[in-house]
Chain A
């Protein structure tokens, strides 16, 4: 595939409202729910924090890139998807004699964020929702990259998992994280190339509570982009087999 270019990033995690706050490493306890202005309250009725996390980082990445959220194609990725909504519906199924909330039910699909953002922004462009387990970040990046390779233009890739709710937290425990990259087939100073396999992803600075969150596989790339640090970057969870890419950073011309 042809190299692609990073034009913008987005990040949201409890305590961190955006990528700048994350980079500064100063959590704000007030940050517990993303603003997600792309989806208004009426449209978002019955939707989850997970969907808001994805909407929020799409907006951040598109804004940083100067890309129009009303027209840009989108690729969403997640391992657990709408797990909070599912557990809410399971409670209704067994505790309310099967009477499910229609708003919750229609927002229980893996592509709920894709639908909500497209409706909220009147965006009729290509959109998809990917699930790849622990490898959700790398396969979602692959889907976005292949789209750019064939269609050109820009695409926003957003990957997230919320924390598993009770009782599934007995089986899998981690914190919430959403990241996004606005990627482009066009020229740019931050180039991703060389998608390749790696037998074991190196250790990284991923916080302990996010080590099992599929989105944290993209943190090294987000941090390298923010720091404008060239080099090989793992796009897999630490210690797992997966993929790596190379980030090249063009230096501004002398005198600029």
Chain B
């Protein structure tokens, strides 16, 4: 049974993100506001034509004492974390180290380093000395390191449900706070580009060779991106934007394509609204999953149209960052917070000409509409759906 009774809004007191749009949160949000895409050529050697959302520039290495954890994923994560470390330190001071959790989403873990180690093993029949599966590839490795750096001793784990991972950690945080286990959680997601991900989506025939075009009649598939994003959610605190509700559902349909009528997607959105004690009329903007595959956009549009009609402006930000998979939900929570605080809705890059069969209001151009509440959708392989509602309590 889903949680349907309204839950208490939880203040979102700090956030950060790094991705193809920029090396810090300000740069990312400035690029989003300017309508600038971060998509470009793949830095990884792949067998097909594609564009990706790669982090711009070099990532600083980890501090020497954490060298065994050094991966591209860890560097991305630490770059994002450093920006909000003072607020996290304050939360640890306020609530106690064991009352703060680290709840992260990832779908790749340190796969990029494992790819290199595996290649070396094939060539030389030995695994490189510096490669450590447990502290580099293992999904739990970054959280373990971050706990040491941040002095956090509360529950630390990863939700890995592919592309819904870092949306679902918001629900985990909400439950742990409501159950009295913790008072605050650092939630978010990290994924880095890997060859396997690019080749894998290519094998499914859904990787676009050009910049992706969510909700366009000419859409040809996704672009993969990388990045990291964090949000600090607390039991109490001063914040204009709160976590209002999270809805989770399962499609129970196919492993890699959505239920065509968007049933699971709709249930996730309905449950987020029910938790928040709100109705569709209370939502001012939707940051869609909007991956730009034919089937995903179609199913999501049906789900949105059934619940919201064509009243609510819908943006997809995949044309800026690419699809960051396990980091997508976390990043788009930050984009949702930014929409509320800046009053601006992002344009859906590449959407024109909009698919006329989609009965939703796609946000073509950036606009200042001062949304108070924004819904952020993430849907995944395995039929895992999550919808996160953030904004001002009613």
Chain B residues within an 8 Å CB radius of A170: 127
- Asked if A30 lies at the interface with its beta carbon under 8 angstroms from chain B, I say no
Q: Mark B278-311, 1 if CB is under 8 A from A, else 0.
A: 0000000000000000000000000000000000
Q: Mark A63-106, 1 if CB is under 8 A from B, else 0.
A: 00000000001000001110000110110011101111110011
* Chain B residue at minimum C-beta to C-beta distance from A115: B382
Interface hit among B136-144, B343-351, B369-377? B136-144
Chain A residues within an 8 Å CB radius of B342: none
The residue that B139 contacts in the complex, of A81, A107, A122, A146, with Cβ under 8 A, is A81
- Inter-chain contact B204/A110, CB cutoff 8 Å: no
Query: What is the CA–CA distance of A89 and B176 in the complex, to the nearest angstrom?
Result: 36
- Inter-chain contact A111/B252, CB cutoff 8 Å: no
Q: A1-B179, A129-B160, A172-B133 are in contact. Are A100 and B196 (CB under 8 A)?
A: yes
CB distance from A120 to the nearest CB of B (A): 9
- Asked if B159 lies at the interface with its beta carbon under 8 angstroms from chain A, I say yes
- Asked if A108 lies at the interface with its beta carbon under 8 angstroms from chain B, I say yes
Chain B residues within an 8 Å CB radius of A86: 111, 114, 196
The residue that B168 contacts in the complex, of A81, A128, A133, A172, with Cβ under 8 A, is A128
- Asked if B192 lies at the interface with its beta carbon under 8 angstroms from chain A, I say no
- Inter-chain contact B175/A149, CB cutoff 8 Å: yes
Q: Mark A191-232, 1 if CB is under 8 A from B, else 0.
A: 000000100000000000000000000000000000000000
The residue that B383 contacts in the complex, of A115, A129, A151, A167, with Cβ under 8 A, is A115
The residue that B249 contacts in the complex, of A97, A106, A126, A133, with Cβ under 8 A, is A126
- Inter-chain contact B140/A150, CB cutoff 8 Å: no
- Asked if A112 lies at the interface with its beta carbon under 8 angstroms from chain B, I say yes
Which bracket fits the contact residues of B? Answer: 35 or more
Interface hit among A8-16, A17-25, A135-143, A175-183? A135-143
- Inter-chain contact B381/A109, CB cutoff 8 Å: yes
Q: A143-B172, A153-B1 are in contact. Are A111 and B249 (CB under 8 A)?
A: no
- Inter-chain contact B382/A130, CB cutoff 8 Å: no
Which bracket fits the contact residues of A? Answer: 35 or more
CB distance from B200 to the nearest CB of A (A): 4
Query: What is the CA–CA distance of A125 and B383 in the complex, to the nearest angstrom?
Result: 11
* Chain B residue at minimum C-beta to C-beta distance from A243: B155
- Inter-chain contact A110/B119, CB cutoff 8 Å: no
Query: What is the CA–CA distance of A145 and B178 in the complex, to the nearest angstrom?
Result: 12
- Inter-chain contact A142/B155, CB cutoff 8 Å: yes
* Chain A residue at minimum C-beta to C-beta distance from B250: A118
Q: Mark B146-159, 1 if CB is under 8 A from A, else 0.
A: 00000000011111
- Asked if B251 lies at the interface with its beta carbon under 8 angstroms from chain A, I say yes
- Asked if A121 lies at the interface with its beta carbon under 8 angstroms from chain B, I say yes
- Asked if B394 lies at the interface with its beta carbon under 8 angstroms from chain A, I say no
- Asked if B87 lies at the interface with its beta carbon under 8 angstroms from chain A, I say no
- Asked if B107 lies at the interface with its beta carbon under 8 angstroms from chain A, I say yes
CB distance from B225 to the nearest CB of A (A): 17
Chain B residues within an 8 Å CB radius of A116: 255, 382
- Asked if A31 lies at the interface with its beta carbon under 8 angstroms from chain B, I say no
CB distance from B297 to the nearest CB of A (A): 19
Chain B residues within an 8 Å CB radius of A125: 1, 250
- Inter-chain contact B200/A105, CB cutoff 8 Å: yes
Q: Mark B237-255, 1 if CB is under 8 A from A, else 0.
A: 0000000000011111111
Q: A90-B114, A133-B144 are in contact. Are A102 and B249 (CB under 8 A)?
A: no
Query: What is the CA–CA distance of A128 and B172 in the complex, to the nearest angstrom?
Result: 10
The residue that B254 contacts in the complex, of A90, A119, A171, with Cβ under 8 A, is A119
- Inter-chain contact A131/B158, CB cutoff 8 Å: yes
Chain B residues within an 8 Å CB radius of A250: none
The residue that A151 contacts in the complex, of B1, B111, B118, B131, with Cβ under 8 A, is B1
Query: What is the CA–CA distance of A105 and B198 in the complex, to the nearest angstrom?
Result: 11
Query: What is the CA–CA distance of A3 and B255 in the complex, to the nearest angstrom?
Result: 35
- Inter-chain contact B181/A152, CB cutoff 8 Å: no
- Asked if B90 lies at the interface with its beta carbon under 8 angstroms from chain A, I say no
Chain A residues within an 8 Å CB radius of B121: 167
- Inter-chain contact A129/B156, CB cutoff 8 Å: no
Instruction: List 7 additional contacts besides A98-B199, A110-B139, A147-B175; criterion CB under 8 Å.
Output: A90-B114, A105-B201, A111-B382, A124-B263, A127-B250, A171-B127, A171-B131
Chain B contacts to A: CB under 8 angstroms: 1-3, 46-47, 98, 107, 111, 114-115, 118-119, 121-122, 127, 131-134, 138-141, 144, 155-162, 168, 172, 175-176, 178-181, 195-196, 199-205, 248-256, 263-264, 267, 380-384
What are 23 inter-chain pairs, A to B, with CB distance below 8 A?
A: A79-B140, A87-B118, A101-B203, A105-B204, A109-B161, A109-B162, A111-B160, A112-B255, A114-B250, A118-B383, A119-B255, A125-B250, A131-B138, A133-B134, A133-B141, A135-B140, A139-B157, A143-B157, A150-B3, A164-B133, A171-B134, A172-B133, A197-B98
Chain A contacts to B: CB under 8 angstroms: 1, 73, 79-81, 86-87, 89-90, 93-95, 97-102, 105-112, 114-116, 118-119, 121-136, 139-140, 142-143, 145-147, 149-153, 164, 167-168, 170-172, 197
Closest 10 CB pairs of A and B: A115-B382, A133-B140, A110-B160, A105-B200, A131-B139, A139-B157, A146-B175, A106-B256, A132-B157, A111-B161
